[in-house]
Amino acid sequence: MSSVLPKAAVKVATIAAGAALAGTAGVKLILDKPSRTYAEGSVGDEYDAWTSEGILEYYWGEHIHLGYYTPEEMKAGYKKKDFIQAKYDFIDKMMEFGDINPAQFKNANVLDVGCGFGGTSRYLAKALGPSSHVTGITLSPNQVKRGTELAVEQGVADNTKFMVMDALKMDFPDNSFDIVWACESGEHMPDKKAYIEQMMRVLKPGGKFVMACWSQREEGDQPFTKRDKRDLQYLYEEWSHPYFVSINYFKKLIDDTGVMGEVKTANWVDETIASWRHSVWVGIFDPRGWIFKPKQYYKCVRDAYCLERMHRAFKRGLMEYGMWAATKKVPPPAAAESREESSASS
Residue 321: the pLDDT is 99
Q: Which of 175-184, 185-194, 312-321, 327-336 has the lowest mean pLDDT?
A: 327-336
Q: What is the pLDDT of residues 291-344, one digit of tens each?
A: 556 667 677 778 888 999 999 999 999 999 999 999 999 988 875 555 556 555
Question: What are the angstrom distances between the C-alpha of 42 and each of 52, 230, 238, 242?
Answer: 15, 22, 11, 10
Mean of the per-residue pLDDT values of the chain: 87
Q: Would you put residue 211 in left (φ > 0), alpha (ψ -120 to 50) or beta? A: beta
- Decide if pLDDT at 25 tops 80: no
Between these two residues, 12 and 60, which has the higher pLDDT value?
60
- % of residues, the chain, pLDDT over 70: 81
- % of residues, the chain, pLDDT over 90: 67
Residue 280: the pLDDT is 87
- Decide if pLDDT at 63 tops 70: yes
Residue 295: the pLDDT is 67
Residue 176: the pLDDT is 99
Residue 2: the pLDDT is 42
Question: Concatenated DSSP letters for 44-79?
Answer: HHHHHHHHHH-HHHHHHTT--S-----HHHHHH-GG
Between these two residues, 25 and 31, which has the higher pLDDT value?
31
Between these two residues, 126 and 15, which has the higher pLDDT value?
126
Q: What is the pLDDT of residues 251-306, one digit of tens each?
A: 999 999 999 999 999 999 999 999 999 998 887 666 655 555 666 767 777 888 89
Residue 326: the pLDDT is 99
DSSP 328: B
- Decide if pLDDT at 165 tops 80: yes
- What type of residue is 102? P
Between these two residues, 161 and 15, which has the higher pLDDT value?
161
Residue 233: the pLDDT is 94
Residue 27: the pLDDT is 64
Q: What is the pLDDT of residues 113-133, one digit of tens each?
A: 999 999 999 999 999 999 999
Q: How confident is the model at residue 143 (pLDDT cuts 50, 70, 90)?
A: very high
- CATH class for domain 7-14+36-300+310-345? alpha beta
First to last CA, the chain: 60
- Decide if pLDDT at 77 tops 80: yes
Residue 314, number of CB atoms within 10 A of its CB:
21
